[in-house]
Amino acid sequence: MANILIVDDSPTELFQLKAMLEKHGHSVMTANNGADGVALCRVEYPDAVLMDIVMPGLNGFQATRQLSKANDTSHIPVVIVTTKDQETDRAWGIRQGAKDYLIKPVREEILLKTLNTILEAESA
């Protein structure tokens, strides 16, 4: 299965998302903020990133933009997973380079379907 990085400052969200993914055979790494998430991507090159938006320091929009614009990480698909559910937030997230945008609390089947679709597209 895939190696997924979850970037979120909430221990509860990290735990829940990690449990969902590991239950389905994915290996999971975590980062507590955008800067650490970007740094980890540059070392580990995960198959995909689940990115929160509201975090201290480098927020998820900024981290997504850094990953999608850098030559060494632009191939890593980012899915934003956030409580920010305004259409303008969704549009901005996609403009920053996110492949999809999911609203918390995300249902397990939607998360897995989204990840599978993105991972299949990346491997094609």
- The tens digit of pLDDT for each residue in 93-121 reads 999 999 999 999 999 999 999 999 999 98
State the chain's maximal CA–CA distance in angstroms: 36
The rounded distance, in Å, linking the Cα atoms of 26 and 49 is 12
Which residues does 67 contact at the CB level (< 8 Å), separation at least 6?
38, 41, 49, 73, 74, 76, 78, 97
- Predicted local confidence at residue 124, as pLDDT: 74
Distance CA 88, CA 39 (A): 28
Asked if residue 115 is part of any domain, the answer here is yes
Residues in contact with 32: Cβ distance below 8 Å, sequence separation at least 6, in sequence order: 7, 8, 9, 14, 55
Q: 122 pLDDT exceeds 90?
A: no
What share of the chain has pLDDT > 90, as a percent? 96
Q: Would you give the DSSP letter of residue 72?
A: T
What is the residue range of 49's domain? Answer: 3-119
Contact between residue 5 and residue 37 where contact means Cβ atoms under 8 Å apart: yes
The pTM of the whole model exceeds 0.85: yes
End-to-end distance of the chain based on CA atoms, in angstroms?
16
Using the predicted structure, report yes or no on whether residue 33 has a pLDDT greater than 80.
yes
- Residue 23 in any domain: the answer is yes
Let me know if residue 124 belongs to a domain.
no
State how far the Cα of 72 lies from the Cα of 19, in Å rounded to an integer. Answer: 29
How many domains is the chain partitioned into structurally? 1
In a domain, 26, yes or no: yes
SS3 content of the chain, % helix, strand, coil (to 5): 50, 20, 35
Residue 60 clears pLDDT 90, i.e. is over it: yes
For residue 42, the domain's CATH number is 3.40.50.2300
Q: What is the mean pLDDT of the chain?
A: 97
